[in-house]
Amino acid sequence: MLEYAELWGGSALSFASASKGDLFKLATLIGSLRHAAIQVTEQKPLLVGPRVWKSTMPKDVMVRRARRAARLARRRLVCDAHEIDAVAMGFAAQRLL
């Protein structure tokens, strides 16, 4: 499962990212990861937008829920902000978030 890049309307941070070209770099990276996954697994990974898996959930709420899900899975969660997004997306896919 990969999260695809998405421009969030009304978000100054999202527009700043797009205007600097960061959104395009991210989209290129995601495409490269998708291609690599297909080559290795011979299956297309599921592409999911952030609005699908976390909707408008604030970051702090998502972090708390991911940590709670990790505790329930008897795992200690030590991640930076981007890593915790990936972990939370996995938990959301399993309906644990």
Question: How far, in Å, CA of 97 to CA of 93, rounded?
Answer: 8
Question: Tens digits of per-residue pLDDT, 45-75?
Answer: 999 888 888 888 888 898 888 888 888 778 7
CB count in 10 Å sphere of residue 77: 17
- Structural domain boundaries in the chain: 1-48, 54-97
Question: How far, in Å, CA of 83 to CA of 78, rounded?
Answer: 9
Weakest mean pLDDT among 22-31, 59-68, 77-86: 77-86
The answer, as to whether pTM is greater than 0.85, is no
Confirm if 23 and 5 have CB atoms less than 8 A apart: yes
CB count in 10 Å sphere of residue 70: 19
Confirm if 47 and 35 have CB atoms less than 8 A apart: no
